Structure 1
């Protein structure tokens, strides 16, 4: 182990000891009276937000030195801005990990290209950051305005609508996520002492729901207090804090500080000082997922309030869950990503285009066949190919690429699935213990559902086409304003 690795190990152990001390004394990771401004440590010289382990470490460091400034930078960065680190200031050591390296290669035409290649062993390094309170010459910190309680109703409704699983608000005395049903149960919001307690509890349970096998796929544990259960709760607690901060809310931790529960956290951290780093990394992924879904839904709700028909998403109601693809980089999307409305439709258009491109390459001279396993879930209105029956296909097979419209590609692929079922009628009838007549009837129902869904999608395509057409008056052409918006959305994907 080199000196850098030894330093990283020692720093992780120190932070773990500090968190354990807080748990033993305060009954929580965070001390009371937390300053919400410190929850998003960032670098004012380049706009970088510190994530994961570094985020937690800087938050704790700011609390320890009673700082009210979330800004952090290196000595050199401060100097380059004409600022000066005060003499005697103590910096905080943070981590940087490199997981890929750039490799130069030549393409089929002999042109030099640069590709990224995963390192067999990640490379770790450390750097030191100084807080804004220790910097002379730095501009005054702009005051952060938090969301008022009057806005919480909109936030809560938007969070619920953005959820990837069903949320049941009901007369119960506890909140929980039930993985077997993939549902959240939460007490009525009026039963909470403060409005934000409901919001914090809701976010905490939504964080748990991201662990579902079709999403971020985490193990929760079998019983209260066991190791996996404690690890999952640690992730939910961290991600709840991160998410509340991203929504500009004052921090409210509603975690159940049962002594046995705190004891299990302490034991997990004592067993492995690296656990806080893994938990913080997972918490960032959870929070990012919740915020992305929230922002998408927020746009829809704002458009509804405005009531402008030109700005309504023609593909509203279409939901795509991209599970994985061996060509995710070409599609420009990360695994386990949910897309809604227009962005979901653009994803399907990209699937068609990329499938066609690879198919043509496979059929060109001196070319080896390349196929990229891909899987997504599909939902439109009442029709759903859910996580258990997601669409599995090979990019490069031409299944989608042979079509010009999304509706015709979807119709072909889904009906192809019915044909495959029909060809194996004997096997499926035996497996589900149903007669041939019952099996045929079920296929007919599925075919009817597909037909209705496709007609729905075709009508949305027609509506979208009409919105893109310019309005004409004599020889004067007035471009539709939504055209530039569609371009922007395409670039975002």
Structure 2
């Protein structure tokens, strides 16, 4: 993984999303596969029963397998199954808090016991390190429990249908939903969701899919997740929020097994592509925010996040040195406008304004070094438009 040509995982994911959007077959555009099944199937580790957090879930879900099970080759072997010949794994990242290392002598030789087995010790890290693993889908493994049996066992005890689960999630949110009109949207100023009457939709499922998407926007209100939601329709800031709500709706739809459908997304796709191209690490930030939104609506209580300066204003100071992509940027000057002058390792200097993609990427890299790409495995139960900065819409 130290190959200079190896691109960070968020960059790989952004590039793949750009290609899929241009081909018109991304998860945002095609929610159903040719076989009629949902395009996104919530990935799960069949041994631990745990799911994968947002960015990893996207990476795995974009492989379009119908089987939700994913395991590493080692985990599969321990479980009594093996990877089929010539199968290729899918790379994910996660935060490692420790590592198992060989115990060595003073001159570096490994110490072995009487049976010739190298002795090991567990080394705890001061802060999480970036771990990587290649996972294989259940369809890539042999001698695995038949999928139908696994799904039957997984669904044991679930008495509610996907529609009933969606209805319960909406009721539990206690969000204000006003019915009437022809469009589904969230109004931030009024902190209310506006929905057409249920009978206006093609079916119940599409009604709940649209409602869940708007609930994802609803989580961004200042009284909840407090996301920036000031962009006007068609702007990049608007697209950032739309991206977060879309990913959250994909995650929730996969959890409830109701799927997702955002209606006409053409108005967002060009801005999504621009975001992924100019700010490839935005997908990591958006996924992290989407995970919080999904957790809030699903009633999941994730482990307390470790954040540097979580309650303090984030910014730059003169002398900051920030590693980003394949270089290091040094902050030479800061200005009252919050703009900064930086110099990269090659000696190139430039002025960055707060609205620039590189500015925001450097800010993210400073306060969350390499963390945007480190998607943590978690157990989970797991807009047509007016130029209003506080209204988020999605077509039916």
* TM-score under structure 1 length normalisation: 0.50
- Counting only pairs closer than 5 Å after superposition, residues 212-227 of structure 1 correspond to structure 2 as 212-227=221-236
Which structure is higher in RCO with an 8 Å CA cutoff and minimum separation 6? Answer: 2
CA distance 1:139–1:5, change in 2 (3 Å)? farther
- Counting only pairs closer than 5 Å after superposition, residues 89-100 of structure 1 correspond to structure 2 as 89-98=87-96
- The aligned counterpart of 1:206 is 215
> Structure 1: any 5+ residue segments left out of the alignment?
102-115, 294-321, 323-331, 336-372, 374-493
Could you say what secondary structure the match of 2:177 adopts? strand
- The aligned counterpart of 1:280 is 287
- Counting only pairs closer than 5 Å after superposition, residues 191-202 of structure 1 correspond to structure 2 as 191-202=200-211
Could you say what secondary structure the match of 2:211 adopts? helix
CA distance in 1 between partners of 2:188 and 2:288 (Å): 22
CA distance in 2 between partners of 1:18 and 1:12 (Å): 10
CA distance in 2 between partners of 1:160 and 1:131 (Å): 32
Question: How much has 1:202 moved relative to structure 2?
Answer: 0.6
Question: How much has 1:165 moved relative to structure 2?
Answer: 3.1
Q: Quick check: which has more Rg, 1 or 2?
A: 1
- Counting only pairs closer than 5 Å after superposition, residues 446-485 of structure 1 correspond to structure 2 as none
Question: How much has 1:124 moved relative to structure 2?
Answer: 1.0
- The aligned counterpart of 1:271 is 278
CA distance in 1 between partners of 2:137 and 2:96 (Å): 25
CA distance in 2 between partners of 1:27 and 1:261 (Å): 14
Cα deviation code 1:333-369 (max 9, x no counterpart): 969xxxxxxxxxxxxxxxxxxxxxxxxxxxxxxxxxx
CA distance in 2 between partners of 1:152 and 1:189 (Å): 16
CA distance in 2 between partners of 1:135 and 1:265 (Å): 35
Equivalent residues of 2:251, 2:294 under 8 A apart: yes
Match of 1:231 among 235, 240, 248: 240
CA distance in 2 between partners of 1:219 and 1:189 (Å): 30
Equivalent residues of 1:38, 1:69 under 8 A apart: no
Could you say what secondary structure the match of 2:76 adopts? helix
- The aligned counterpart of 1:45 is 47
Could you say what secondary structure the match of 1:128 adopts? strand
CA distance in 2 between partners of 1:187 and 1:193 (Å): 12
CA distance 1:209–1:21, change in 2 (3 Å)? same
CA distance 1:71–1:155, change in 2 (3 Å)? closer
More helix by share: 1
Equivalent residues of 1:182, 1:209 under 8 A apart: yes
CA distance in 2 between partners of 1:8 and 1:70 (Å): 26
Could you say what secondary structure the match of 1:21 adopts? helix
Q: Give 4+ residue runs of structure 1 displaced > 3 Å after superposition.
A: 4-8, 27-32, 34-38, 98-101, 116-119, 143-146, 150-157, 332-335
CA distance 1:4–1:55, change in 2 (3 Å)? farther
Match of 1:36 among 29, 38, 55: 38
- The aligned counterpart of 2:365 is none
- The aligned counterpart of 1:142 is 148
Match of 2:168 among 158, 161, 174: 158
CA RMSD across the alignment: 3.3
The alignment status of 1:252 with 2:260, answered yes or no, reads yes
Equivalent residues of 1:38, 1:70 under 8 A apart: no
Match of 1:167 among 172, 177, 180: 177
> Structure 2: any 5+ residue segments left out of the alignment?
100-123, 306-310, 312-396
CA distance 1:188–1:100, change in 2 (3 Å)? farther
- Counting only pairs closer than 5 Å after superposition, residues 85-484 of structure 1 correspond to structure 2 as 85-98=83-96, 119=127, 122-142=128-148, 144=151, 154-155=164-165, 157-169=167-179, 171-249=180-258, 251-258=259-266, 260-292=267-299
- The aligned counterpart of 1:16 is 14
Count matched residues. 272
CA distance in 1 between partners of 2:225 and 2:125 (Å): 24
